Structures are given as structure tokens and as C-alpha cells.
Amino acid sequence: MPGARGALTEEIPEYAGRRRRFPVGAEVIDRRIDFRIWAPSHKGVEVVIEQPRPEAIPMTAEEQGYFSAIVRHPGQRVLYRFRLNNKEALLPDPAARFQPEGPHGPSEVIDPTSFAWTDQNWRGPALLGQIIYEMHIGTFTPEGTWLAAARQLPELAANGIGLLEMMPIADFPGQFGWSYDGVDLFAPTRLYGRPDDLRHFIDAAHELGIGVILDVVYNHFGPDGNYLLEFSPTYFTDRYQCEWGNAINFDGPESRPVRGFFIANAGYWIEEFHFDGFRLDATQQIFDASKPGIIAEITERARRSAGERSILVMAENEPQRAELLLPSERGGAGLDALWNDDFHHALMVALTGKKEAYYSDYHGSPQEIVSTARHGFLYQGQWSRWQNHPRGTPSFEVEHAHFVCYLQNHDQVANSTWGHRLGQITSPGKHRAATALLLLGPWTPMLFQGQEFAASTPFLFFADHKPETAAAIAKGRVQFLRQFASLATEGIERYLADPGKEDTFLRSKLDFRERETNWRFVSMFQELVTLRKEDAVFSWQGEGGVDGAVLAQAAFVLRFFGEDTDRLLLVNFGPDLFSAPAPEPLLAPPRLQEWKMIFSTDDPHFGGGGTPEVRLDQGWRLPAEAALVFASEPLEATDDRAGSPDSA
């Protein structure tokens, strides 16, 4: 087979003016397939066509270690692999657009123009007023496919979801997985369907006014199925230590093609799948001393690829480097938003009382929650006892919407013995009150799938690997959880779900029947979303629009300032609170106005015990474990306090 010239290669004229859009992978251009790979440490490379008929095609060496070959497209499904230096082993394409048999099988040529998009009028999502929904395709529906998930999109739209954050989809080995161990960054996993099924999902979301951003992992590759080292050892570096495997070489020798691989990947998802941006996973493990940094270059490429469409790029950054939100010319990365773990951690302590591991840096106090609403991050350079070093950078000037806050996410739900949701580890009243706080606060709220109907199904850590890898992962999971004192006790590992068992994965699937059984919570959730979306005061997320104060050991108030009317959000995670007098300025209504209660999480319709009339101008009672909303209204003309402004 080596050197053979068959039907795909005969009589092909010189192909001038190549119009490749990405540096590597197989691209379909004018009824031809343009193969290109970076293999700088090899002298010869062949692309081996396995289907529709076997054929080995020598590739032409280019500058900087690239090899390429152009062949006719047979008009049929094309499967291929690469052979390096005439060796027997055949290797899949690390930039494959699809791996129909998984990471170890042959790669498939995909023509992105075969899908008929209908979203030509879609202009992209905005950050202001957004509600984000984190989704794991494999567990979101019983089928675990893009087509099944697409059928649920109208329900999400009806619940006010405007932006989906799809957990990583880069292909990985096995039949199920969390998907943070992807190895084929250009190949949407075959487990959820074919590439056009993903395009259909995004097209359907856009039709409903929902944007879709992709969670991408640019800090490591999974432990099995990654063939990049076969093509070049310089994809990785030992100059840095990554928590989850080999660190990626973004700033060492021969790093420019490596950077190009990841920058192209960002452009690929935006251009060929119409994604509306990204959530960058664990950016603190992306090591790069270059200026501009790789995160800034990825962000810039994503925006350029979107053309006139708006996109959103946000990131997880555990050290809380607020400067990542600055443009690259000011030393930042041009991001739109950052995840705010401080909000989650402080709320978890307030709602559960547990202060283990990284929660030990928080008191769960009302002041922490008020400070988060006013200033974003809680740690902006102070010493972290848990980490034993300073954490965070100043975020005082960052507007509220740029902080993504959450009560649940994939990591935090799974970092427990049982993978319990918030509603299972705190009281119903606190759960409802915290939900009101999340949805009405000045930040950008994010929900984890099923949170809108108080899902009780767990979300566990699951990963299907070959036996030796699975055993190592299970052991590593136990060691990771031992940072929590309650999970470091003798024999606890026998209660932890085995990540490699299919049942662990299946138990994590949502049960949509809970939309009906939990209808009271759903009703409350929908009213809160309506308040956030339609109330002009709550929907304003600009600087200076909110202030707050502590009222008691477990109670606080947030005041939202409008042009003609204000709002109060009173939250009490403790027992009944009586206040007379109430010497707190934020409780005073605007001049010639009075407060009227417009919402209570303690409403019996939502499952609460009922809220007696609360008069903030008199001695008042704030019910236990509840959140109340007040709107200021003009005084009635008969009220002694009403009258001509000149009478003041």
C-alpha cells in the first residue's frame, strides 16, 4: 500500500490558492479533501484511506514541520488514519472532526456545509439580564443525545433560560464520562450523536432565542486516547506542573504551532457549529508567560470568527484574577465574565453550617453575601488560610453582571458522598430563600441542570475507562475527597459511587417527572424569573444599583435603586426576626413612598408556611428561612405623610 496512487489521487492538477481555514485536520474544499498535520519530528507521513477503498497517500512536507495532501472527495463516507515514517501503526487524526468508533478508531472526514442552517438572523446573546444553564448532554435526558436534548429546549425557554453552557463534548474513550478528559478537541463525541445533530441542537436553540456556549478544556488532555505525543513531544512541557496530566506547551520551544492548534479550535467551534462563545475550564492551569497570553488570543480568535454576531467568553479561574476581564492591551484577556466561587462557598456555609476544606475560608455570614453583591469577589488579595497564600485581585470596579454566581454546578454537587443537590442538604425554606437570592441578585445567575424544578437526582463523578485506568481514577477520586474531613474517615470509600460503573452514570440522569411532582417549587422559580426579567429595577445590573446591610446573625437586606422606585430583598436564613426599632437606612422608603410586599418564598403556594403582613414602617416580623421582596410605591393622598413636596 505505501506509495500507491489510486482513484482518489489520479489526475489531480496543481491546487493553487489553498483556502484552508484551520492549520490542521481534514477540510472539504471544492470536492477535494485537504489533509494537514503537524509532525515536526518525523521525516515522512502518509494519510491512509480506509474507506471507501484502501489507499495510502504520501503527504508533502511543508515548512515548520507540517505535512499535507489533497485528494479527490469520492462523494462517500471517508475514514482515514496517518502512518508515520513507514511504521505499521496507524494513528487517528488528533484534529479529527469526528471519531465514529471513539478516540482509538479511524477518523472521519466531515463536510460542515452539508447542514442547512436557519439561524441567519441570530445576532448572538447579551450578558446583561442573562440566566445561564449548565448542561451535561449525557445525563440531561434519558437518551443522552443532542436530538433528545433539543426536544427539551422549549421548556427551558419557557423558564427564562437565555444561555446554555454545554459541558465539554470533545471525544473521549468509553461509553460515558464527565467529559473533562477529552482527547479529540475538534471531534464532538460520538456518544451524543453525529456532528450535524449538534448543529441541529444549536440551530433549534437559536430559533428559541437561546444562546449556547461550550465549556472547553484547554489545560490538559485525558489519560487515554491522546495521540498528540506520537506526532510531536513538544505539544507538552515539563516546565510546569498541571494537576491533571502533562502541561501544555504554550510558551516554550516550538509552541507557536501548539498555540495555533488551540486558537484554531476556538475558531472552529464558532464558525462550523455557531456556538455563541466559551466557558474556559480551570484557566489557572493554563501556563503561559507570553504577551499577549494564549487566553487573550483564543478570545480574540473567537470574536473574529463570530463576525457580526456577539459572543460571550467566560472562565473559571480559581485564583480570582479579576484583570482577566480587562482588554489585552491593558494586560487582560478580554473575557466577559468570571465564575465566582466565593458566592457559592459562602452560601454553602450559611445554608449547611459545614466548613470543611476550601469552605473553611468562609464564615457563611450575612456580611459575606452583602459584600459579594456589592463587590464581586470576597478574596481580592487577602490571605487564604486554606491555600496558605494570598488569593484574588481587586474587582471593585467590575460591574455586577461580569460575575457568574451559582448555588450548584457540576463540580460542587459531585464533591460529596452522595452527589446530593442543595435541596437535599439544607431545609426547604433555606433552599427557596437561596433560590430567590440567586435569581434576583445583581450578578449573572447560573443554574445546574434540573435546578429549575428542584431535581433530586444526584450528579456523581463518572468515567468509563479500561480497568487499570479506571482503578487509578477511582483511587484518585477518593484521595481528592479526603480534603473534606467528613470524607476522610475510615471506610468512607465503600459509600462513594464507583466512577467506572455504568449505574453511577445512569443514576445521574435527570427525571423530568419531577417537573410535575415539584410543581410548587417550579411555580416559585417561574415567578422569580419573571421578576428578574420584567421588573426594571431587578433587571438593572449597572454599577451603584445595589447596596446591602446586615440585619441579624443570619439575615440581611439588599436594596436595589431604580429611577422612580426601589426594591428590597430581605433574606433570613435564621429564626423569626423581630425588629422594632429598625435603625438601618436601607430599610427606609424613598421620600413620599412606602414599601409594599410583592413576593415571599414563604407563600403556601410555593410550599411555605404563609407570610403575615409585614409593615416596615412599624414593628415588623421577618419570617424564618424566607426571602421577601418589597417595592416602593407612592403614598396614598390620604396618608399623613403624603402631600406637596413644598410642605417639607
DSSP string, 256-324: HHHHHHHHHHHHHHHHHH---EEEE--GGG-----SS-HHHHHHHHHHHHHTTS--EEEE--TT--GGG
- Please tell me the CATH superfamily of domain 546-647, with its number: Golgi alpha-mannosidase II (2.60.40.1180)
Could you give the CA distance from residue 125 to residue 165 in angstroms, rounded to a whole number? 12
Name the residue ranges covered by the structural domains of the chain: 25-91, 136-526, 546-647
What single-letter DSSP state applies at residue 157? H
Q: Does domain 136-526 have CATH number 3.20.20.80?
A: yes
pLDDT score at 616: 72
pLDDT at 12 over 50: no
Could you give the CA distance from residue 427 to residue 430 in angstroms, rounded to a whole number? 5
Q: Which of 212-216, 313-317, 574-578 is the least confident region? A: 574-578
Residues 6+ apart with CB under 8 A from 1: 48, 54, 55, 56
β pairing state of 245-248 and 55-58: unpaired
Digit-coded pLDDT (tens) for 88-145? 999 999 999 999 999 999 999 999 999 999 999 999 999 999 999 999 999 999 999 9
3 state SS for 436-489: HHHHHCCCEEEEECCHHHCCCCCCCCCECCCHHHHHHHHHHHHHHHCCCHHHCC
Mean pLDDT of 153-177: 98
Cell of 151: 426536544
Could you give the CA distance from residue 120 to residue 641 in angstroms, rounded to a whole number? 56
489 pLDDT band, cuts 50/70/90, is confident
Could you give the CA distance from residue 89 to residue 5 in angstroms, rounded to a whole number? 20
pLDDT at 508 over 50: yes
Cell of 237: 512541557
Minimal CA–CA distance to 408: which of 447, 443, 435? Answer: 447
Q: How far is CA 627 from CA 348, 531, 608, 634, in A?
A: 17, 14, 11, 23
Q: How far is CA 334 from CA 248, 302, 315, 410, in A?
A: 22, 11, 11, 25
pLDDT at 469 over 50: yes
pLDDT score at 641: 56
Digit-coded pLDDT (tens) for 385-410? 999 999 999 999 899 999 999 999 99
Q: How many CB atoms lie within 10 A of CB 421?
A: 22
Could you give the CA distance from residue 610 to residue 639 in angstroms, rounded to a whole number? 28
CB 597 within 8 A of CB 613: yes
CB 537 within 8 A of CB 566: yes
Minimal CA–CA distance to 570: which of 559, 579, 584, 581? Answer: 559
Q: State which of 8-22, 147-161, 471-485, 536-550 shows the largest mean pLDDT.
A: 147-161
* Residues designated catalytic: 281, 316
Q: Which H or E run contains 133?
A: strand 132-135
Cell of 646: 413644598
Minimal CA–CA distance to 348: which of 421, 402, 400? Answer: 421
Could you give the CA distance from residue 171 to residue 109 in angstroms, rounded to a whole number? 15
β-bridge partners, 25: 36
**Domain at 25-91, CATH class:** mainly beta
pLDDT at 617 over 80: no
Q: How many CB atoms lie within 10 A of CB 366?
A: 24
Work out the mean pLDDT of the chain and round it to a whole number.
93
The residue whose grid cell reads 467529559 is: 179
Minimal CA–CA distance to 172: which of 233, 226, 238? Answer: 226
The residue whose grid cell reads 487499570 is: 468
Could you give the CA distance from residue 632 to residue 369 in angstroms, rounded to a whole number? 23
**Amino acid symbol at 407:** L
CA dihedral 236, 240, 242, 248 (to 10 degrees): -20
Same fold across 136-526 and 546-647: no
pTM for the complete prediction? 0.95
Q: How many CB atoms lie within 10 A of CB 485?
A: 12
Mean pLDDT of 465-476: 93
Backbone angles phi, psi at 452, to 5 degrees: -70, -20
Q: Give the gyration radius of the chain's Cα atoms.
A: 27
Burial of 76 (0-12, 13-18, 19+ CB in 10 A): exposed
pLDDT score at 17: 52
Burial of 468 (0-12, 13-18, 19+ CB in 10 A): exposed
pLDDT at 416 over 90: no
pLDDT score at 648: 39
Minimal CA–CA distance to 407: which of 127, 132, 129? Answer: 132
Quickly list DSSP for 413-432.
HHSSSS---GGGTS-HHHHH
pLDDT score at 573: 98
> For the chain, how far is it from start to end, CA to CA, in angstroms?
97
Which region, left, alpha or beta, applies to residue 249 given φ > 0 means left and ψ of -120 to 50 means alpha? beta
Strands (E), 154-295: 163-166, 170-171, 184-188, 211-216, 236-242, 245-248, 277-280
